[in-house]
Structures are given as C-alpha cells and as structure tokens.
C-alpha cells in the first residue's frame, strides 16, 4: 500500500458516512422552506394551499432515526378548513370534483390548475386505507372533461403487500368507473414509484400526461412526462401491432355472455336482488376490462351490507405484475361509493373465462376473505364465454 493511503481511505470513509446526514439535512431544510411558504410554488402561479410534499402521512421524506430504531407512526391530521385564497385546502367530500366545482375552487383560491391539484393532495391522502403501513398517499388528476379525480392507496390486512393498490392505480380505476377516456395532469405527493410508471405506460394517453410533484428537498413544482420518468420503456407497442387493440382508458368492448352453467346459476337465484345486480355488474365489468395480451377478460362485483353492489374490471399490463386485478378495481369502486370497511363485504362475484390462461377467482377470494376477516366469505364464480353470434 502507498504511504499515506490509509489516512486517505479513512477520510473518504468518514465523508461517505457523513454524506447521508448532509443530504437529510438539506432535505429537512427544503421541507422547512416549503412549510414556511405555505404552499408549493408553480411556475409563476399563486400559492394554493399546503405543500404537496407535506411531511407526515402524505410525505415521503427520509427519516434520520438511528439504525434499528422503530419508526413512529402517526395518524393523519384532521382536515383543515378553507378560509379563502392561500388557506389550507378544503377537505374532499368524495373522490370526484365536477368541472364546475374545479372551476369554482380555482376562482375562489386565485391559483393555477396545477397549484390547485397539488393543494388537494393532503385532503386526498386522508381518504386512503393503509391498515398495514399506516402510510397515507393521495393523488389528484385532471381529466379532459375538466373534472378532477382522487386516487388513494389501499392495503389488505392478512394479504401479501403485492396485493396493495397504489394511489396512481386507484385514480385510473376511478377514471374508468366514471367513463373518462383520458388524463391530462396528475399531481402526486412525490415522484411515482417504478411500479406506477410502468402501469401508466399502458394508458392510451401515456405520452401526454403531465406529472406534477415536488422533488425531495425542493420548494418548486416540477412538471414531468412519462418519457422522462421511464425512458426507453417497455409497453404495449412492444407486444401489440399499432391500432390492433384499444389501450387502457380507451373504450373496451369484449363480446361476452354467460356460459350455460352460469346462466343457470344466475337464474336459480333470481329472487336475490343483490346477487342478480352483482352478477350483471361483474359481467359488464368483464366486458369493459382490458386484457389485450392474454385475452382473459374478467370482472368482480362485491355485495356489501344493505345490498349495495360495487364492481371493477381487470386492467392488464405488458409487464404483467403492474396490472390491476379486478378485485382491487372493485374494492376501489366500493371505497369511492362509500364502503366504510372491508368487513361490510358479504359476497364476491367473479366473472371470467372457464379455461382462461389467467384466472382471478382464487386470489380474489383469498384476498377478500383475509381483508374482511371472514374465512367463510362466499365467493361465487360465474363463467363467461365469447359471444360469436
């Protein structure tokens, strides 16, 4: 070893150990700046509520806790009340703001649309259902119709974490549930994870969506495209001929009908109004589902306490794993519709092909039973077939 090299190595090692602390300090300073500013600044836009990257349940800033120390979990703060322009964002009453509501909020608060979307993130995150991590995430998107849609993360106690729904995925399920055909802008608490970047590669409008977030340690808003977040990505055009199939958020029309046995099963329960509505909802969700790679459309409907019915369809992905299963889409629909808790689910109805290469019923039943805490939760499988007539 060269003379003096050991001292050089010691200095380098010390610098390496100090680097994360310096980075954390810079991040904390940036957070303090954002809190003091009272909002995320857009390019020349007025402030419009709390910082989109607010620390706490919504934020994603790294902790400086000692190695091995347990992370302290805190519930979300109560919704803040709006008192005019520059005040805290109003709590959201639901998962959709009509175009006229968006316009009224923007006028009232005197800010840009981007700043308005970012200001709604804390209120959106309070609608999340993360019983495993207690980590609340919100997303707010603007559709071409002018309506704003909310997405939140969902977790299922007793089920693998891989069954969780990311806020960005929930938002797409929300768009589909309301018949929206596109997405203009998406505000998120921090840069989307790799899973969601791949999921958004499936959208027909993937190249035009504007992603709004504040990088850690920054007090400025960043507008990014998917091509920057996921360059040289693998997506639909790697597996499909251009124009050969409608992409996600485009209208789907899977020509499906009940197989004879399923038709008989539905007829046998004709007196059960909730089941009849759930069966029809599951079939319709399968018809609108997105499965261009496997040709295995499927839909799920949930019968909840009081005879309420919620449904959702399968959204496939070129990379397989980042897709959204029909059970998760149905649960998103249930949360949008006011489901108070998973224990309110009384039956799961699955519509899928009998001999499809991809089957949903087994996993859907296992996840629903775990989440509801009911090992006897009924799971009814109704097979569909292609209508060639």
Q: Which residue has the tokens 């920054």?
A: 218
123 pLDDT above the threshold of 50? yes
Question: Taking residues 230-248, what's their average pLDDT?
Answer: 92
For the chain, the structural domain boundaries read: 47-54+89-238, 256-386
More confident residue, 75 or 292: 292
CATH of 256-386 given 3.40.50.2300, 3.40.140.10, 3.40.50.300, 3.30.300.30: 3.40.140.10
pLDDT digits (tens, 9 = 90+) for 86-101: 445 556 889 999 999 9
- Report residue 214's pLDDT band, with 50, 70 and 90 as the boundaries: confident
pLDDT digits (tens, 9 = 90+) for 247-293: 999 999 999 999 999 999 999 999 999 999 999 999 999 999 999 99
- How many angstroms separate the CA atoms of 216 and 104, rounded? 31
- How many angstroms separate the CA atoms of 12 and 46, rounded? 45
- Report residue 218's pLDDT band, with 50, 70 and 90 as the boundaries: low
Question: Is CATH 3.40.140.10 the right assignment for the domain spanning 47-54+89-238?
Answer: yes
Closest CA to 92 of 140, 34, 29: 140
Question: Taking residues 363-381, what's their average pLDDT?
Answer: 98
More confident residue, 171 or 18: 171
Under the phi-then-psi rule, with left for phi > 0, alpha for psi from -120 to 50, and beta for the rest, what region is 86?
Answer: left
Q: What are the tokens at 171?
A: 């938002």
- How many angstroms separate the CA atoms of 62 and 55, rounded? 10
Domain 47-54+89-238 and domain 256-386, same fold? Reply is yes
- Report residue 60's pLDDT band, with 50, 70 and 90 as the boundaries: very low
- Report residue 76's pLDDT band, with 50, 70 and 90 as the boundaries: very low
| pLDDT value, residue 217 | 55
DSSP alpha helix (H) spans, the chain? 5-37, 99-109, 113-119, 121-125, 167-177, 194-200, 226-229, 260-268, 273-287, 326-336, 361-372
Q: What are the tokens at 262?
A: 């399923």
3-state secondary structure 86-143: CCCCCCCCCCEECHHHHHHHHHHHCCCHHHHHHHCHHHHHCCCECCCCCCCCEEEEEC
Q: Apex CA 117: angle with CA 115 and CA 121, to 5°?
A: 110
Active site residues: 168
3-state DSSP helix/strand/coil % of the chain, to nearest 5: 35, 15, 50
| pLDDT value, residue 26 | 37
pLDDT, mean over the chain: 83
- Report residue 19's pLDDT band, with 50, 70 and 90 as the boundaries: very low
| pLDDT value, residue 30 | 36
- How many angstroms separate the CA atoms of 309 and 321, rounded? 27
321 pLDDT above the threshold of 70? yes
Which is it for strands 298-304 and 345-353: parallel, antiparallel or unpaired? antiparallel
Burial of residue 214 (CB within 10 Å: 0-12, 13-18, 19+) is buried
| pLDDT value, residue 92 | 85
């Amino acid at each position: 070893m060269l003379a003096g090299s050991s001292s050089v190595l010691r200095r380098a090692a010390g610098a390496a150990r100090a680097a994360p602390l310096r980075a954390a300090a810079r991040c904390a300073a940036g957070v303090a700046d954002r809190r003091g500013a009272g909002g995320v600044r857009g390019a020349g836009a007025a402030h419009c509520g709390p910082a989109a990257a607010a620390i706490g349940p919504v934020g994603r800033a790294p902790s400086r806790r000692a190695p091995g120390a347990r992370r302290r979990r805190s519930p979300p703060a109560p919704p803040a009340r709006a008192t005019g322009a520059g005040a805290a964002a109003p709590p959201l009453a639901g998962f959709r703001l009509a175009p006229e509501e968006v316009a009224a909020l923007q006028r009232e608060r005197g800010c840009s649309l981007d700043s308005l979307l970012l200001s709604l993130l804390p209120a959106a995150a309070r609608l999340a259902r993360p019983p495993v991590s207690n980590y609340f995430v919100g997303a707010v998107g603007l559709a071409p119709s002018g309506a704003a849609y909310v997405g939140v993360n969902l977790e299922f106690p007793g089920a693998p974490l891989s069954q969780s729904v990311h806020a960005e995925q929930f938002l797409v399920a929300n768009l589909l549930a309301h018949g929206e055909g596109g997405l203009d802008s998406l505000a998120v608490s921090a840069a989307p994870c790799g899973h969601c970047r791949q999921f958004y590669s499936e959208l027909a409008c993937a190249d035009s969506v504007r992603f709004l977030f504040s990088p850690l340690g920054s007090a400025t808003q960043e507008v990014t495209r998917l091509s920057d977040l996921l360059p040289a990505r693998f997506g639909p055009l790697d597996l499909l001929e251009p124009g050969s199939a409608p992409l996600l958020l485009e209208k789907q029309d899977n020509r499906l009908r009940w197989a004879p046995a399923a038709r008989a099963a539905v007829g046998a329960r004709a007196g059960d109004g909730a089941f009849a509505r759930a069966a029809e909802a599951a079939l319709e969700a399968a018809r609108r589902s997105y499965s261009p790679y496997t040709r295995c459309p499927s839909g799920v409907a949930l019968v909840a306490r009081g005879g309420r019915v919620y449904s959702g369809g399968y959204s496939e992905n070129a990379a397989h794993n980042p897709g959204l299963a029909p059970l998760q889409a149905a649960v998103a629909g249930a949360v949008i519709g006011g489901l108070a808790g998973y224990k309110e689910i009384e039956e799961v109805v699955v519509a899928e092909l009998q001999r499809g290469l991809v089957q949903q019923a087994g996993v859907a039943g296992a996840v629903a039973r775990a989440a509801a805490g009911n090992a006897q939760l009924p799971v009814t499988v109704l097979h569909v077939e292609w209508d060639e007539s």
